[in-house]
Amino acid sequence: MGSRGEAGQRTAGRRWRGLRALQSGPTAGLGLLLLPVLIYFLALYAYPLIGMLQRSFRDPATASLTLQYYEKLLNTPAVLRVFAGTFRLATTVTLVALVLGYPVAYLLSKLPRRTAGLLMILVLLPFWTSILVRSYSWMVILGRAGIVNSILQGLGIVSEPLKLMYNSFGVHIGMVHILLPFMILALYSVMQAIDRDLVKSAQSLGATPLQAFLRIFLPLSLPGIGSGCLLVFIQALGFYITPALLGGTSDRTISMAIDLYVNTVINWEFGAAIALVLFVVTFALFLIYNRILGLDRLFGG
Amino acid sequence: MSSLSRKRWLRNRVQVRHILLYLFCILVFAFLLAPILVIIPMSFSSADFLQFPPPSFSLRWYENFFSRQDWLSATMLSLRVAIATSLLSTVLGIMAALALARTSFIGKDLIYAFIVSPMIVPAIIIAVAVLFVYARLRLVGSFLGLVLAHSVLALPYVVINVTASLRTFDIDLEKAAMSLGANRFQAFTKITLPLIRPGVFAGALFAFVISWDELVVALFVSGTKAITLPRRMWISLRQDIDPTIASIATLLVVFASVVLLVVELLRRRTNT
């Protein structure tokens, strides 16, 4: 009897506490859960970035503020060429990915959902395979004794092996391959939400299929084009592995220049200055992305 | 031209356009998948160097991988780093996702942008910045250093996945549990967590793969002591492209396919 009463009291007590917590609402104080992540990110992400910023503005000998590394950046044609080259590379890769990705996303959005879902797995497989493995595959395919050259020589089409990698051709192929899934995902997530009846009604009003596509579907898919292109372009700007493996000496990207100054030349201040410029550019594009399209769109989410 | 034949002509044109579209898409899919599939036969080659087609088939490159201490220790290190990264970023990520999904305050969007921004910031920048700090703290070449840096890269994926699954979760279920006497922690672990498990699991898997494949940060902070598998592959790729890499790459492709299937199944469960 006594033990039952005790148990009953305990249950009542527990229920009371539960009700009190309920009154304060299941969300009160939840904001505190952000603290661990924020502390972690401030220590291991923001603080290092700020340190990098400081380093690029400080003379290591006198510890005084200086702009010498940025002056050096502007006065080093090799570095400026690398910046221009990387922007050109990122632009071309983005356009090629758009041209290849748009029809695929268009077709996927027209197919029944189940089929589209299955085909999407084929798009996602490269996405989940490591960049290193994929760059290596292209080395196997495009190399001097690679698959393409073996086939072309075997068929007697060329007598000398073609130079397909260690040049910008190889870099473009490898980078488009890695970034294309992002483009397709971004385009598809917008296209599958487009109301197809709009296209049909345009056609029933006398538009040819091409006119209906150009005047109705294409404008409605513009947000997908914008988000896909920005996403691919931003990532392409920071590429390191693929250009380092598949490119030649003239295909150096900004990331490779940073690596060169940090790890080989051991001029950390100058490396930090280059990294900071890349960071500012990327961050500006990130803000534009957020402003126009919203972060929810990231990764087709 | 009669209107009937004009119609037929139009229909043919539409069909031609459809066939062209399908052809184009098949080619793009071939472009996406061929490089991944091509690795598999090459890995079973018996040749001393990469040669196409392989003269005959053998398992010698797999034997080489499994008998070489440097490859195995790199694999083990990568595995340990990836598991630790996955655990750390999942725990932190769930907390952040709960706060982000259920509260509203001024500047929340900014904090969300801050937390997911490592996805967009080039890895090389994070690598350089972290290297500068690690050099002072003597964390270069350490297991801990790799885990801490990889978790920064992995956290956004956990937060995105868990936030997505929390969005579909009915908070009244938690309230009901609490009205029946559960405290807030119990309500979360007994009611919420089981229901958002697919999202949590997908996030943990994402985090694992991010760390497992990560090379750029490892290049800067793994020093000479903590050589991860991608780092070991990188060394080998820059020196000699021996077919051992093809065998590892094949194993990694198989692994990636399994992960992809699991994530797809989880996603389906979250959506329904």
Higher pLDDT among residues A203 and A272, named by residue: A272
* B132:A134 CB<8 A: no
Using CB atoms, which residue from A37, A46, A301 is nearest to B155? Answer: A37
Q: What is the pLDDT of residue A24?
A: 52
- In tens, the pLDDT along B3-26 reads 677 777 767 777 888 899 999 999
Question: What SS3 class is residue A65?
Answer: strand
B261 vs A contacts (CB less than 8 Å): 121
The 3-state DSSP class for residue A132 equals helix
Quote the strand ranges of B114-156, DSSP E.
none
**Residues 6+ away with beta carbon under 8 Å from B263:** A128, B202, B205, B206
B63 vs B52: CA distance, rounded Å: 21
Sign of CA dihedral A88, A89, A91, A96: positive
pLDDT 10s digits, B144-170: 999 999 999 999 999 999 998 888 887
Question: pLDDT grade, residue A57 (50/70/90)?
Answer: very high
pLDDT at A3: 47
Question: What's the whole-model pTM score?
Answer: 0.86
Nearest CA in chain A to B19: A107
- Would you state the pLDDT for residue B156? 95
The residue type of A123 is V
Tell whether B264 lies on the interface with A, counting CB pairs under 8 A: yes
Span A197-216, mean pLDDT? 87
Amino acid at A145: A
In this prediction, what percent of chain A has a pLDDT beyond 70? Answer: 88
Q: What is the pLDDT of residue A64?
A: 87
DSSP state of A31: G
Please tell me which residue, A172 or A203, carries the higher pLDDT value: A172
Average pLDDT estimate for A60-85: 91
User: Considering only CB atoms, which chain B residues are within 8 Å of A275?
Assistant: 124-125, 128-129
d(CA A151, CA A129): 26
CB-based burial, B2-34: b 16+ in 10 Å, e otherwise: eeeeeeeeeeeeeeeeeeeeeebbeebeeebee
Read off the tokens for A189: 């997530």
pLDDT band at A2 (very low <50, low <70, confident <90, very high): very low
pLDDT band at B224 (very low <50, low <70, confident <90, very high): confident
> Band of the pLDDT at A16, cuts 50, 70, 90?
low
B125–A52: do the CB atoms touch at under 8 Å? Answer: yes
Contacts of B171 in chain A (CB under 8 A): 26
Strands (E), chain A: none
pLDDT at A50 over 90: yes
What's the gap in Å between the CA of B74 and the closest CA on chain A? 15
Q: What CA–CA distance (Å, rounded) separates A300 from A295? A: 10
> What is the rounded distance in angstroms from the CA atom of residue B235 to the CA atom of residue B231?
6
Output the average pLDDT for chain A.
86
- C-alpha distances out from residue B29 to A142, A187, B22, B35, B188, Å: 18, 16, 10, 11, 43
Q: What is the pLDDT of residue A289?
A: 82
Name which of A183, A281, A189, A288 is nearest A232 in CA terms: A183
Report DSSP state, residue B45.
B
Please give the pLDDT value at position A17: 55
Closest alpha carbon to B156 in A236, A59, A41, A91? A41
Of the partner residues A46, A141, A282, the one whose CB lies closest to the CB of residue B38 = A141
What does the pLDDT look like over B117-143, one tens digit per residue? 898 899 999 999 999 999 999 999 999
**Is A150 part of a structural domain of the chain?**
yes
Q: Is the dihedral of CA A35, A39, A42, A44 positive or negative?
A: negative
CA distances (Å), A160 to each of A139, A156, A248, in order? 18, 10, 19
Residues 6+ away with beta carbon under 8 Å from A4 = none
Of A252, A228, A84, the closest CA to residue A168 belongs to: A252
Q: Measured in Å, how far apart are chain A's first and last C-alpha atoms?
A: 58
Residue B262's contacts (CB-CB under 8 Å, 6 or more residues apart) are: B205
Structure confidence at residue A200 (pLDDT): 86
Judged against a pLDDT cut of 60, whether residue A89 lies above it is answered with: yes
Query: In chain B, what is the straight-line distance between the N-terminal and C-terminal CA atoms, in Å?
Result: 53
pLDDT at A188: 93
CATH number for the domain including A271?
A: 1.10.3720.10
b/e per residue, B198-220, with b = 16+ CB within 10 A? bbbbbbbbbbbbbbbbbbbbbbb
Average pLDDT of the segment spanning B97-119: 87
pLDDT tens digits for range B48-94: 777 777 778 888 888 888 888 889 999 999 999 999 999 999 999 99
pLDDT at A103: 96
Helix or strand holding residue A282 (H, E): helix A268-293
Q: State the total domains in chain A.
A: 1
What confidence score (pLDDT) does residue A1 get? 39
Instruction: Please check the confidence at residue A285 and state whether its pLDDT lies above 60.
Output: yes
Question: How far is residue B91's CA from residue B181's CA, in Å, rounded to a whole number?
Answer: 25
Q: Is residue A44 part of a domain?
A: no
Contacts 24+ apart (CB under 8 A), A51-60: A51/B129, A51/B132, A51/B133, A52/A272, A52/A275, A52/A276, A52/B125, A52/B128, A52/B129, A52/B132, A53/A272, A53/A276, A55/A268, A55/A269, A55/A272, A55/B132, A56/A269, A56/A272, A56/A273, A56/A275, A56/A276, A58/A269, A60/A269
**Pair of tokens at residue B202:** 């997908």
Q: Which domain holds residue A262?
A: 77-300
Rounded to whole angstroms, how far apart are CA atoms B97 and B206? 15
- Residue A6 covered by a domain: no
Place of tokens 């290193």: A132
Q: What is the pLDDT of residues B259-271, one digit of tens each?
A: 888 888 887 776 5
Rounded distance between C-alpha atoms, residue A18 and residue A109, angstroms: 48
Q: Is A131 left (phi over 0), alpha (psi -120 to 50) or beta?
A: alpha
B148 interfaces chain A, CB cutoff of 8 Å: yes
For residue A176, being part of any structural domain is answered with yes
Residue A55 belongs to some domain of the structure: no
pLDDT digits 0-9 by tens, B178-190: 888 888 888 888 8
- Which of B21, B39, B119 faces A140 most closely, judged by CB atoms? B39
How far apart are the CA of B210 and the nearest CA of chain A, in angstroms?
9
Structurally, what CATH architecture does the domain formed by B68-271 represent? Orthogonal Bundle (1.10)
Question: Tens digits of per-residue pLDDT, A137-171?
Answer: 998 899 888 889 888 988 888 888 889 988 999 99
A-proximal residues of B, 201-230, CB under 8 Å: 209, 212-213, 215-216, 219-220, 230
Share of chain A above pLDDT 90, in %: 50
- pLDDT per position as a tens digit, A124-137: 888 888 888 899 89
**pLDDT at position B204, please?**
94
pLDDT for res A204: 87
Name the least confident of A49-53, B149-153, B185-189, B224-228: B185-189
Averaged confidence pLDDT in chain B: 88
Q: Is the pLDDT of residue B217 over 90?
A: yes
Question: Residue A18 CA to chain centroid, in angstroms?
Answer: 45
